[in-house]
Amino acid sequence: MRVEECGTCCWVVDGYVFDFGEVLSSVEKPPKTIVLEAPQGLVKYLELVSSLLEKCFPHSEITYRLEPAFGLCSISLELSTDDVVVVHIGHEDYPYPLCSFGSCTRKLPKGVFTVTAEYIGGDAERISGAIASALSQTGGTKVAIGFSVQHKKLAGAIVRRLSSLGFEVRTSVPITGCWYAPLLKLRSAVDSFVVIAGGYFHAIGLGLALAGSSMVYRADPYANDVEPVNEKVARILSKRLWKVKQAMESGPGKVAVISGLMPGQSRPGVVSFLKRLGEKSGYKVRIVLSRYMQREYLDNLSPEEYKFFVVASCPRIAIEDLDDYWKPVLTPGEARMVFERTLDLSHYRFPW
């Protein structure tokens, strides 16, 4: 791994900027313990980062969370105390409330910090050219850009380059796997959407949120290439509508709505809405609590007693993890379609 210093308590590792300067300047006294956590792609750096961080906090025990923190929704708030600082790496602002024991907040508590781990790689010129070429093939000039937070600076450079080439970039905003609201507002105002992020996860999420109604391109900063994701989205939507149809045809009965126990995955408003709507539609809705979701947990629940399951904690679980379960596992938006008895694609809602 390549390591370069970039300031006080700041290191660039393989192109990722791990800047703990704010943590160092914000803590009133050296904490007894610092807990690091990161998403899957950054977990491999935690041992090295822990060793580097010991230089800034020589009197603190540096430890890290083994399982990935897929987003701020799964941040380890419960570990934070007067003597323990939690640092979440790889994400920034969380767009939804953090809820626990009936109270919700939109601010991280004292002693909990985020480190973005911005990626300074990626060829802005090459990616911009590929985006321009893709957009020109469809004749569109108006575009909206979403990006994962690691690629904020790269997104800015791409916006400037596209603008110089004559394209109208209506907005450029950070997104998560379940938050696309600023882009959705522009669905009728732009010709295409571009998502700057590694892999397909964020781009497919946007495609689902748009219900396949607009062109969505994935711009990968690691491969420096651009690709439309609409065919992938169409295949997923087809399967999701089939799941909704299965649930709808199973008839009224008992439904389990799974509510998350992690602060960022506790959605009391969504759960209450689904319970009211389901019961109004003739279903018996049972609210089930879970910190993590695995298919074995559903097996243990005697799934034959339920018509279908709804995962209210993380909508991506139904899409990516449990899409092949033998009973329909739906997102909240899909459950709403069942309760409202519609298979119209224009009514498809993702995530909520």
Res. 237: pLDDT tops 80: yes
pLDDT digits (tens, 9 = 90+) for 34-46: 999 999 999 999 9
pLDDT tier for residue 101 given thresholds of 50, 70 and 90? low
Three-state DSSP class for residue 309: strand
Is the bond preceding 351 in cis, omega lying within 30 degrees of 0? yes
According to the model, what pLDDT value does residue 342 have? 95
Res. 77: pLDDT tops 90: no
pLDDT tier for residue 195 given thresholds of 50, 70 and 90? very high
Res. 213: pLDDT tops 90: yes
Q: Between residues 114 and 98, which one has the greater pLDDT?
A: 114
pLDDT tier for residue 91 given thresholds of 50, 70 and 90? very high
According to the model, what pLDDT value does residue 99 have? 81
Q: Which of 244, 198, 196, 240 is nearest to 216 (CA)?
A: 196
pLDDT tier for residue 327 given thresholds of 50, 70 and 90? very high
According to the model, what pLDDT value does residue 233 have? 98
**Edge-to-edge strand order for the sheet containing 118-119?**
3-7, 10-13, 16-19, 118-119
Q: Which residue has the tokens 């449990």?
A: 322
**Percent of residues, the chain, with pLDDT higher than 90:** 83
Task: Please tell me what DSSP assigns to residue 324.
Answer: T
pLDDT digits (tens, 9 = 90+) for 11-56: 999 999 999 999 999 998 899 999 999 999 999 999 999 999 999 9
Q: What distance in Å separates the CA atoms of residue 86 and residue 79, rounded to the nearest whole number? A: 7
Q: What is the mean pLDDT of the chain?
A: 94
According to the model, what pLDDT value does residue 229 have? 98
pLDDT tier for residue 301 given thresholds of 50, 70 and 90? confident
Give whole-number Cα distances, 99 to 29, 111, 139, in Å: 28, 17, 45
Q: What distance in Å separates the CA atoms of residue 115 and residue 12, rounded to the nearest whole number? A: 13
Res. 103: pLDDT tops 80: no
Which residues lie across from 228 on neighbouring strands?
Answer: 217
Q: Which residues contact 200 (CB under 8 A, 6 or more apart)?
A: 218, 229, 232
Domains and CATH numbers, the chain: 3-118 (3.40.50.11840), 124-228 (3.40.50.11850), 238-347 (3.40.50.11860)
Amino acid making up residue 160? R
Mean pLDDT, residues 131-148 taken together: 94
Q: Between residues 62 and 292, which one has the greater pLDDT?
A: 62
pTM, two decimals, is 0.93
Q: Which residue has the tokens 């694609």?
A: 345
Within 10 A of 223 (CB to CB), how many other CB atoms are there?
A: 13
Radius of gyration in angstroms for the set of CA atoms belonging to the chain, rounded to a whole number: 22
